[in-house]
Amino acid sequence: MRFSLVVLAAGEGKRMKSEKSKVVFRVSGKEMVNRVIDEACKAGVDKACVVVGHKAEMVMEAVGDRASFVTQSEQLGTGHAVMQAREFIAENENVMILAGDTPLITADTLKKAMEAHAENKNACTVLTACLDNPFGYGRIIRDEAGNVARIVEQKDANDEEKAVCEINSGMYCFDSAMLLKALDMLTNNNAQGEYYLTDTLEIIKQADGKVGAFTVPDAVEISGVNDRLQLAEAEKVMRRRINTRHALNGVTIIDIDATYIEDDVVIGQDSVIYPGTTLEKGSVIGKGVVIGQNCRIVNSAVGDGSDVYYSTMVDSTVGEGCHVGPYAYLRPKSTVGNNCKVGDFVELKNATLGDGTKASHLTYIGDATVGAGVNFGCGTVIVNYDGKSKFRTVIGDNAFIGCNSNLVSPVKVNDNAYIAAGSTITDEVPEGALAIARSRQVIKSDWKDKRSK
């Protein structure tokens, strides 16, 4: 059975108290609206359309080519929002309707709901949940036979209806043709003066369509995010889900609630992740790696058996058996080979280090290509910027860069060359040579006595 997806995301989300659209707020690194679309796609919908209105451009930019868009210029209710997608809905046999602010829904649940919809030959299947506190949600009203009769909104409900704890999740599967017919008959004759999508259920029933409910196994999946407290709660649930998956995959996560891993991060077996660490989008951590406290690793790779402590890596790669940190900063486009050391207060930017190269402390390596087996003494600076342009330094294999050296780019230090400590290198250093580029020491004897006279 073929399904399209319509995501409602035109509302204002007042309670977020933000300049941003609610649906672009991120949960574990991914925008809520994109979580909804991605899960539905995993569950098997063919194509997606997002109804945008409030802050439309922001939403469209975040969603990108995941979906097409229709605009709802005035927010006249969920039914009115769906009406804007009429043409899109008509293109496919069935449509799933979701809201853009329910980031915890899973592909598994959506897939089961679609299957139930197909098996029962329903014209509408509403996803429901039973809540201890159903306040605010639409209530599922069933007839004597236990079939779904209609949905009544909180604001329209009488006391008996308010006592019902089965609620409307705001997620549905519809037969497209039946939905389109029902939308034509919607009115806004209710407490909020809105076109309620929920009223289509009764209309479909009257037209002899079958309406069923699919109760989600875990009610947390349908929780909506309306304010920043609920956002933090959703984040917590997502964090636990992601961390649980890694833990069960053989990764030691010391504190499951204080480790922040975005969905698509890959971590090898027997790695250990300490608290306070954030592993962001696109990161790949090898096997037997230790990521110590308070690291931030963004779109970067760490090879097997390496350790990284108290450090930041952005768009960079570290090979196998390396030691990084504490307090190293690998800025974009840094590539570190195997068995290297990038020690405390070492900063790399757009730099390549060959295997076995060591920069143990207080060093800046920017715009440089460094060979294998190079040793950087403490306090080395690659002087890559003249105030206008950036230049590149090239250092050959097994070079030894003495402490407190400046290498003024562009400059080349060939294989096996030595730089004397305290040198400022401006010219190419030949292979195997020693370059000393500092003034000689001068001794002025008895200086103190002479001065005081």
User: Any idea which residues carry the catalytic annotation?
Assistant: 361
Among 63, 197, 234, 238, contact with ligand UD1 (rule: CB under 6 A):
197
Among 26, 44, 66, 75, contact with ligand UD1 (rule: CB under 6 A):
75
Among 39, 83, 123, 153, contact with ligand UD1 (rule: CB under 6 A):
153
Question: Judged by CB under 6 A, does residue 34 bind ligand UD1?
Answer: no
Minimal distance in Å, beta carbon 164 to ligand UD1?
12
Q: Where are the beta strands (DSSP E) in 232-340?
A: 252-253, 260-261, 266-267, 272-273, 278-280, 284-285, 290-291, 296-298, 301-302, 307-308, 312-314, 317-318, 323-324, 329-330, 335-336
**b/e per residue 263-298 (b: at least 16 CB within 10 A):** eebebbeebebbebbbbbeebbbbebbbbbebbbbb
Minimal distance in Å, beta carbon 91 to ligand UD1?
20
- Other Cβ atoms closer than 10 A to 138: 26
Minimal distance in Å, beta carbon 384 to ligand UD1?
49
Question: Judged by CB under 6 A, does residue 224 bind ligand UD1?
Answer: yes
Q: Which stretch binds ligand UD1 (CB under 6 A): 161-169, 246-254, 301-309, 360-368?
A: 161-169
Among 138, 286, 337, 356, contact with ligand UD1 (rule: CB under 6 A):
138
Among 16, 49, 83, 99, contact with ligand UD1 (rule: CB under 6 A):
99
Minimal distance in Å, beta carbon 73 to ligand UD1?
10
Question: Judged by CB under 6 A, does residue 72 bind ligand UD1?
Answer: yes
Burial class (CB in 10 A: 0-12, 13-18, 19+), 256: middle
Question: Judged by CB under 6 A, does residue 318 bind ligand UD1?
Answer: no
Nearer of residues 100 and 402 to ligand UD1, judged by Cβ: 100
Nearer of residues 49 and 359 to ligand UD1, judged by Cβ: 49
Among 100, 366, 371, 377, contact with ligand UD1 (rule: CB under 6 A):
100
Calpha distance 1→120 (Å, rounded): 12
Question: Judged by CB under 6 A, does residue 404 bind ligand UD1?
Answer: no
- Other Cβ atoms closer than 10 A to 121: 10
Q: Which of residues 360-399 bind ligand UD1 (CB under 6 A)?
A: none
Nearer of residues 139 and 323 to ligand UD1, judged by Cβ: 139
Beta bridge partners of 128: 168, 215
H helix runs in 155-227, sequence order: 159-162, 176-184, 200-206
Calpha distance 131→135 (Å, rounded): 9
Burial class (CB in 10 A: 0-12, 13-18, 19+), 89: buried
Nearer of residues 234 and 395 to ligand UD1, judged by Cβ: 234
Contact 241, 259 (CB under 8 A): no
Minimal distance in Å, beta carbon 10 to ligand UD1?
3
CA dihedral 302, 304, 308, 314 (to 10 degrees): 0
Given CA atoms 232, 237, 241, 246 in this order, what sign does their dihedral have?
positive
Nearer of residues 150 and 239 to ligand UD1, judged by Cβ: 150
Question: Judged by CB under 6 A, does residue 76 bind ligand UD1?
Answer: yes
Phi and psi at residue 426, to the nearest 5°: -120, -15
Phi and psi at residue 62, to the nearest 5°: -65, -40
Among 25, 69, 88, 137, contact with ligand UD1 (rule: CB under 6 A):
137
Residue least distant from ligand UD1 (Cβ): 138
Q: Which stretch binds ligand UD1 (CB under 6 A): 99-107, 116-124, 232-240, 343-351?
A: 99-107
Nearer of residues 170 and 286 to ligand UD1, judged by Cβ: 170
Contacts 24+ apart (CB under 8 A), 407-414: 407/368, 407/380, 407/381, 407/382, 407/383, 408/383, 409/367, 409/368, 409/382, 409/383, 409/384
Question: Judged by CB under 6 A, does residue 151 bind ligand UD1?
Answer: yes
Token pair 């929920």 is at which residue? 198
Minimal distance in Å, beta carbon 165 to ligand UD1?
12
**Tokens at 308, concatenated:** 């990284």
Among 196, 214, 310, 364, contact with ligand UD1 (rule: CB under 6 A):
196
Nearer of residues 53 and 354 to ligand UD1, judged by Cβ: 53
Q: For binding to ligand UD1 (CB under 6 A), which residues are involved?
A: 8-11, 51, 72, 75-78, 80-81, 99-101, 137-138, 151, 153, 167-170, 196-198, 224
